[in-house]
Amino acid sequence: MLTLNPRIDFGGQAWPSPVSEFSLEWLKSNFYPAQRTRHDRVIAAIASGEAQIDKARKQAVGGVPQFGDRRANGTIHMTGADQQMQQAAEKVAHHQVVNAIRKIRETVDAECLDTLKAMERAAITAKTLSERVFTKIACLSRASAGMKEADLMALKANYATFIKGVAPIELHRLAQAAIDAGDPVSLVYLECIRVENFNRKKDDRPFLNASLIDIINVPEFNAAMGDDARPGLLRQVIDLHRDAGIAWASFLGKIGQASINRIARGLSAVKLAKDGLPAAGDDDAV
């Protein structure tokens, strides 16, 4: 028996707003733009924090008084007492800049951590969508060539009746013709051919369904998934999460005192599946 899963949620939580349909239009208008907004918010907060830290460090250095007597040649003569006072002043300045950086980091934390968690949930959701909604087979099955549902169902029913039981060599010819046509209607035909081929016994199949799926060009799948050279919307959602996580980890590294636990709260590796199968080393953990 095969397992049925609940409807896709937002990385283990309820969606911020209800989703009526997991469609390509929804990816373009809602899911991806929301992740882009989160990414930009994190990057802006980190940039602001780094600028504030640089300013605090410069102010601390410039605010340390210089003890001793400056001589005509530009050198400074310091007594033992002057040296002690100089060290004390530098120590105070050091503590001041450390406290300033700590407060700045707390401000950046408040702006970034919840957003990074939401980005991680979106990346997890993108992986689930790639496995259950935007596989190439699922996208192929939704191909409509712009027809209304009733017309589409009638076309599929008629074509399925036409190809049912035809000789393997003829089914192969029809599949090749549809592949070569490359028009929207040909995708509807190819879906019917795929189902017919799958229903046959192995000895009566002219080709493997996997080989058919591999060479078909499905626009919805390309837009949602893409490839390494041209990542689709789901890949970009995951890439944005990774980019923001790297920026966050880099920020913590620059200011020091960055524990693994703190980084893990905002950065977690999510791998995108391809055609419903686990990807191999797409998004390595940072």
pLDDT digits (tens, 9 = 90+) for 127-167: 999 999 999 999 999 999 999 999 999 999 999 999 999 99
pLDDT at 282: 41
pLDDT value of position 62: 52
Residue 121 sits in the same domain as residue 37: yes
Distance between CA atoms of 25 and 95, rounded to whole angstroms? Answer: 53
What are the residue ranges in the chain where pLDDT is below 70?
59-74, 76-100, 255-286
What span, in angstroms and rounded, lies between the C-alpha atoms of 272 and 252? 27
Answer yes or no: do 247 and 108 share one domain. Answer: yes
Same domain, 102 and 142: no
Q: In which domain, by residue range, is 60 found?
A: 30-134+234-266
Nearest to 116 by CA among 259, 252, 240, 4: 240
Q: How many CA atoms lie within 13 A of 172 on its CB side?
A: 9
The reply to whether 8 falls in a domain is no
127 and 146 in a single domain? The answer is no
CA separation for the pair 29, 47 (Å, rounded):
27
- Give domain status of residue 83, yes or no: yes
- Please indicate, yes or no, whether residues 48 and 159 belong to a single structural domain of this protein: no
Same domain, 207 and 244: no
Q: Exposure pattern of 174-213 as b/e (b: 16+ CB <10 Å)?
A: bbeebbeeeeebbbbbbbbbbebbeeeeeeebbeeeeebb
- pLDDT, tens digit, for every residue of 155-211? 999 999 999 999 999 999 999 999 999 999 999 999 999 999 999 999 999 999 999
DSSP-assigned letters across all residues of 203-263: GG-SS-HHHHHHH---HHHHHHTB-SSSB-HHHHHHHHHHHHHHHHHHHHHHHS---HHHH
Residues 38, 109, single domain; the answer is yes
Q: What one-character DSSP code corresponds to residue 20?
A: S
CA dist 106 and 67 (Å) reads 34
Mapped to the 3 state alphabet, what secondary structure does 99-119 carry?
HHHHHHHHHHHHHHHHHHHHH
Side chain identity at residue 268, one-letter code? S
Does residue 59 belong to any structural domain of this protein? Answer: yes
> How many domains does the structure of the chain reveal?
2
Is 276 inside a domain boundary?
A: no
One domain for residues 54 and 109: yes
Please report whether residue 18 resides in a domain.
no
Tell me: do 185 and 238 sit in the same domain: no
Indicate whether 188 and 153 sit together in one domain: yes
Q: Domain check: are 122 and 142 in the same one?
A: no
pLDDT for the residue numbered 55: 79
